[in-house]
Amino acid sequence: MLKRRYLLLLLLLSSCEEIVNPDLITADPVVVIDAIVSNTESKNYVILSKTSAFNAQGSTPKISGANVTLTYSNETVNYTESDSGKYIPNQDISTSLLSGQYRLEMEVENNLYAAEGILPTFILLDSITVSRREEDPSFDDGYYPIIHFTDPPNEINYYMWEIYLNSEFISSDDIILNDDEAFEGRSVAYELPFSIALEDVNVGDTLKVYNYSISSDAYDYYNGLLLLVGSGSPAQAIPDNPVSNIEGGGLGFFNVCQIDSTFVLIED
């Protein structure tokens, strides 16, 4: 199958727009859709591109001239191309999201692609602290972010996190996610499985964490990306591409999510 011939590593996080194209074999290009709807204005966009042949040089080709619309709660919002291949809603939808289903439709080169998602529960972060570890035999030296929040009871929740140091997205090479099985319905101090080297941090630096409340489908998709990233050994079988919610034959994912963020100043 064509999809199996592509090893597409699409790190979407919403704000994460990096596409990795391994240099392997040649195949026909496929439309890739990186789309997010959220309660954060800067994290509402659709990025349209095509997979490159594995032996091609240069960046992944972006797709211009598409028609993109979002429908929810009897509202229809059109998108405008703000940059090559990147489309943003022509009005701020971050303050008007309602519980329910969201449908994204994209007319790309005379082909129709669509995707649907349901808005998850909003999760409020109480605070973030930092654990500094040095010469600990159980951990690498570094700073470890700890987020404090209350997981909603009586429902299964899924989380994804992004970490910024002084406005620089430092976790862009990692997909950090988890479900709430270990702390369902409780107030927790959860240490993220990510560390920052001691020499990269100075007193007074700002550490910020974005907490994404995502759907079970999004969790499965990003977890599938992790399996792809981890299949680098020649002895490993290449897994299937992550299951996409894109209709019409495209790759990628439409992530409908709720985001909260908080920050802390490094004091030692």
Instruction: For residue range 1-54, list pLDDT tens digits in order.
Output: 333 333 334 433 333 443 344 444 456 789 999 999 999 999 999 999 998 755
Tens of pLDDT, residue by residue over 99-124, are 999 999 999 999 999 999 999 999 99
CA atoms of 252 and 217, how far apart (whole Å): 12
Residue-range domain boundaries for the chain: 2-120+215-257, 125-213+260-265
Tens of pLDDT, residue by residue over 186-243, are 999 999 999 999 999 999 999 999 999 999 999 999 999 888 876 554 444 445 667 8
Pairwise pLDDT comparison (28 vs 155), residue with the higher score: 155
CA 87 to chain centre: 17
**What's the rounded mean pLDDT across residues 142-171?**
96
Q: Report pLDDT for 5.
A: 33
Q: pLDDT confidence of 56, banded at 50, 70, 90?
A: low
Is pLDDT at 86 greater than 80 in this prediction? yes
Range 125-213+260-265: architecture per CATH: Sandwich (2.60)
What are the tokens at 21?
């194209």
What are the tokens at 137?
């035999």
Q: Report pLDDT for 227.
A: 82
Which residues are registered as beta bridge partners of 9?
20
Q: Report pLDDT for 28.
A: 78
